[in-house]
Copies of this chain bind each other. A is one copy, B any other.
Amino acid sequence: MREITAELLPDMARGAAVLGTGGGGDPYVGRLLAQQAIREHGPVTLVDVDEVPDDAVIVPTALMGAPTVMLEKLPSGDEISRALRAVEELIGRPATHTVSLEAGGLNSMTPFVVAAEQSLPLIDADGMGRAFPELQMLLPTLAGVTAAPMAMADERGNTLALRTIDNPWAERLARSVAVEMGCTAATSLYVLTGRQLKDHMVAGTITLCERIGTAIRRAREEHTDPVAAAADVLGGRRVFTGKVVDVTRRTAGGFARGEARLTGSGPDTGSVLELSFQNEHLVARRDGRVVVSVPDLICVLDADTGEPVTTETLRYGLRVSVLGAPCDPRWRTPAGLALAGPGYFGYDHDYEPV
């Protein structure tokens, strides 16, 4: 258990955006929101997974939608807290803790906003060990934990409660509502007990975000290689360095979808890397051959500063390094691959661990 103050957030947000694999929202926006909430309501207590009682009532929150839109349309009021309180009403009990569902520049930071506003301890964990575009893509789904009872809220004051027959239906209905709410919505879902958290979530994600973010910053300060420093903490490897020469991007079905094309430099001169994304990077192909694929992590960093580059800020001329890093081992099981492997996203290649 430790107190998180505002000055710790920039490193955490930077690391969270690396783990967000291009999605999960903008780290600058995320940490500004969290810093403001902490300044207003005081520091947030971060607790370790093993400090959480088995009967804890954990109510997570997340922003849902297209990150391209979230960059311009920020959460503007208490909509995330309203979503959490709507779930408390649905389950008839107050939350004892909150937690983030995915790693990402926004989705690792907005739980600090809720924790500060609602005076709830935040658990050092998440539900994926990365970010994924669809809401059923959470490790607890593999264990039968349900997304619903779920609530959604927008900045206007509309709220919505869902009880669905399964998690894919929660995704379908919530996605269409998120689109109508303006392509972003605050959500609260996957109520968990402490026992379920320990068994099915990823422990230590916030601390890992902080370690990644700190390693990048220190490498910059010490004039060593920040990309190598990030790869080292992630247990991953650099798969490409080059320049972005083309980005095709569209907001469709409530997601930011697109492709980016990179031409190599240094040892990668003469090669081309193609990235396909749906909020998050899904597949990286080098000269036509898959080199990293979901569920493994594809992290795009500024080649010089190591700063994470989200899919919505990818642009022509940017010099980037692309890392491949291993996902949580549960994603590599047959059930994990069925939920968020290449086949689910419509690709016909077999998954090969990075």
Which A residues are closer than 8 A to B by beta carbons? 156-165, 169, 172-173, 175-177, 179-181
Contacts and interface: CB of A to CB of B under 8 A. Distances in A.
A31 to B, nearest CB: 30
Given A156-B165, A158-B163, A159-B163, 17 more contacts: A156-B169, A158-B162, A158-B165, A159-B162, A160-B161, A160-B162, A160-B163, A160-B173, A161-B161, A161-B162, A172-B180, A173-B177, A173-B180, A176-B176, A176-B179, A176-B180, A177-B177
23 contacts: A156-B165, A156-B169, A158-B162, A158-B163, A158-B164, A158-B165, A158-B169, A158-B173, A159-B163, A160-B160, A160-B161, A160-B163, A161-B161, A161-B162, A173-B177, A173-B180, A173-B181, A175-B180, A176-B176, A176-B177, A176-B179, A176-B180, A177-B177
A217 B247 CA distance: 66
A286 B200 CA distance: 67
A111 to B, nearest CB: 24
A59 to B, nearest CB: 17
Contacts of A163: 158-160
A159 B156 CA distance: 23
Nearest to A172: B180
Contacts of A180: 172-173, 175-176
Contacts of A162: 158-161
- Counting every copy of the chain, the complex holds 2
A179 B177 CA distance: 11
A163 B160 CA distance: 6
A255 to B, nearest CB: 15
Nearest to A150: B160
A152 to B, nearest CB: 9
A169 B162 CA distance: 17
A181 B160 CA distance: 16
A163 B157 CA distance: 8
Lowest 8 A-B CB distances belong to which pairs? A161-B161, A176-B176, A176-B180, A157-B165, A158-B164, A159-B163, A160-B162, A172-B180
Contacts of A169: 156, 158
A275 to B, nearest CB: 29
Nearest to A181: B173
A230 to B, nearest CB: 39
Contacts of A181: 173
Contacts of A161: 160-162
A169 B159 CA distance: 11
Nearest to A156: B165
A161 B173 CA distance: 12
Nearest to A161: B161
A329 to B, nearest CB: 33
A179 B172 CA distance: 11
Contacts of A173: 158, 160, 177, 180-181
Contacts of A158: 162-165, 169, 173
Contacts of A172: 180
Contacts of A177: 173, 176-177
A325 to B, nearest CB: 35
